[in-house]
Chains A and B, each alone.
Chain A
């Protein structure tokens, strides 16, 4: 089906482990984004990508790594997970800037023990 998907939907891991969250979109949107959402902070941008092989830091990039070798995929890696990275992670995509709508995936709930 067309749209934006994330996997896994739920993940429990331990401090220090590497975790990769996957994001896939079928619209061939140029832009893709990763956000985290925590109570009291709203959605905060971690990284974004304007096209394949182009990525930029957002508001809270520390502890995260991204790559975008293909337009449709934008994985987010936590190199050494910490408890403070327990959060809900949303991937999003949009065709362009301005008044283009941004579409969100269903989210990944990550718990770091």
Chain B
């Protein structure tokens, strides 16, 4: 079993749609959690951290369920510029990345 598993994707959605990504992790001792965004042929960049209480940043909402070892990312009112690959990241002694879920937002 992979340490971090994500929805396989790809997700193709129209502008304005709401889309949700899920991620599960295997190590219950994991300490911190993130979503990174990676544009084609570019380096990953932090989108948002994920806290136990859940957190929101504009159109983006992240949730963490430690009991189920599950992380989610919700994007509301999708924009063309949201098209990218979204990486779920789990940190224990080092960061472990999911394989990523590709999102394409279409006009």
Q: Are A41 and B99 in contact (CB under 8 A)?
A: yes
A interface size (C-beta, 8 A): 21
What DSSP secondary structure best describes chain A's contact surface? loop
Q: Are A48 and B94 in contact (CB under 8 A)?
A: yes
- In Å, the complex CA distance between A33 and B100 comes to 19
Please, which residue of chain B has its CB at the minimum distance from the CB of A88? Answer: B41
The segment from A18-26, A60-68, A71-79, A100-108 that touches chain B is: A100-108
Q: Are A40 and B94 in contact (CB under 8 A)?
A: no
Q: Which of B32, B87, B93 contacts A42 (CB 8 A)?
A: B87
Which residues from chain B sit less than 8 Å from chain A, CB to CB? Answer: 31-32, 42-46, 49, 87, 91, 93-100
Which residues from chain A sit less than 8 Å from chain B, CB to CB? Answer: 33, 35, 40-45, 48, 58-59, 90, 97-99, 101-102, 104-107
